[in-house]
């Protein structure tokens, strides 16, 4: 949810027709399937992108609190897919992991123990025997893959970005130097 709220600052620059990827440049380069899947590719004005991101943020909040969890998971996944397709230059590794997690969330029984919807309807969860769900296994494998992917990428980095003496500075170190907390920490050192 926070990641989506932070994107409101960059809608004009990266997602509107006045920004870096206007629809007049994007649409001739993509096929019909891409246009069908990308809802954001049909709207170029800033206010239209704000409405779309508002819908996506609302769906993410409802998903988080457990209201119509499966429906909100599908909406969140689709809207995230569409947002990524609108400007693929902004697609980073964290986005890929969010995308995978949202995809698996569509199949997980996330509202089985507690959800706002069950609370409002007065339903209580009944104890059930442990059942192995294929989506749960997929989620566990995804977490394993995330660590394997990130660790392998760091280990195989020819510039040894994972080491203390890396040149240039690793991305995480560069990022932390630009956060307020890290600046205070570096000031203390």
Contact between 77 and 103 (Cβ < 8 Å): yes
Contact between 140 and 101 (Cβ < 8 Å): no
DSSP 38: -
Query: What pLDDT is stored for residue 159 in this prediction?
Result: 67
Distance, in Å, from the CA atom of 3 to the CA atom of 10, rounded to the nearest integer, reads 11
DSSP secondary structure string, 146-175? Answer: HHHHHHHHHHT-TT-TTSTT-SS--HHHHH
Rounded to two decimals, the pTM is 0.69
Query: What pLDDT is stored for residue 90 in this prediction?
Result: 78
Among residues 152, 109, 157, the alpha carbon closest in space to that of 131 is found at 109
Distance, in Å, from the CA atom of 97 to the CA atom of 123, rounded to the nearest integer, reads 33
**pLDDT digit string, tens, across residues 112-170:** 766 777 777 777 666 666 667 777 787 788 888 877 877 776 677 676 666 656 665 55
What's the mean pLDDT in 9-14?
A: 87
**pLDDT digit string, tens, across residues 81-109:** 999 888 888 777 778 778 888 888 888 77
Among residues 98, 111, 107, the alpha carbon closest in space to that of 66 is found at 111
Residue 109: partners with Cβ closer than 8 Å, 6 or more residues away: 133
Q: Express as a percent the part of the chain with pLDDT over 70.
A: 76
Contact between 125 and 114 (Cβ < 8 Å): yes
Contact between 84 and 38 (Cβ < 8 Å): no
53: confidence class by pLDDT, cuts 50, 70, 90: very high
Asked if the peptide bond before residue 168 counts as cis, ω within 30 degrees of 0, the response is yes
What's the mean pLDDT in 29-50?
A: 91
DSSP 135: H
**pLDDT digit string, tens, across residues 18-27:** 888 889 988 8
Query: What pLDDT is stored for residue 71 in this prediction?
Result: 92
pLDDT over 70 at 185, yes or no: no
- The three-point CA angle 137-141-145 to 5° equals 170
Which of 66-80, 129-143, 174-188 has the least mean pLDDT? Answer: 174-188
What's the mean pLDDT in 35-47?
A: 91
Query: What pLDDT is stored for residue 11 in this prediction?
Result: 87
- Radius of gyration of the chain, Cα coordinates, nearest whole angstrom: 20
């Amino acid at each position: 949810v926070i990641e989506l709220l932070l994107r409101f600052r960059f809608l004009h620059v990266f997602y509107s027709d006045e920004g870096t990827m206007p629809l007049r440049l994007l649409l001739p380069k993509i096929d019909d399937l891409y246009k069908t899947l990308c809802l954001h590719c049909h709207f170029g004005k800033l206010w239209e992108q704000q409405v779309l991101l508002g819908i996506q943020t609302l769906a993410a909040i409802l998903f988080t609190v457990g209201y119509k969890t499966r429906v909100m998971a599908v909406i969140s996944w689709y809207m995230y897919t569409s947002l990524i397709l609108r400007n693929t230059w902004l697609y980073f590794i964290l986005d890929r992991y969010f995308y995978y997690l949202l995809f698996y969330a569509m199949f997980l029984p996330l509202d089985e123990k507690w959800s706002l919807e069950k609370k409002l309807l007065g339903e209580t969860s009944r104890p059930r025997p442990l059942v192995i769900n294929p989506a749960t296994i997929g989620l566990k494998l995804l977490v394993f893959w995330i660590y394997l992917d990130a660790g392998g990428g760091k280990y195989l980095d020819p510039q040894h970005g994972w080491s203390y003496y890396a040149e240039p500075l690793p991305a995480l170190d560069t990022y932390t130097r630009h956060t307020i907390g890290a600046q205070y920490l570096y000031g203390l050192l």
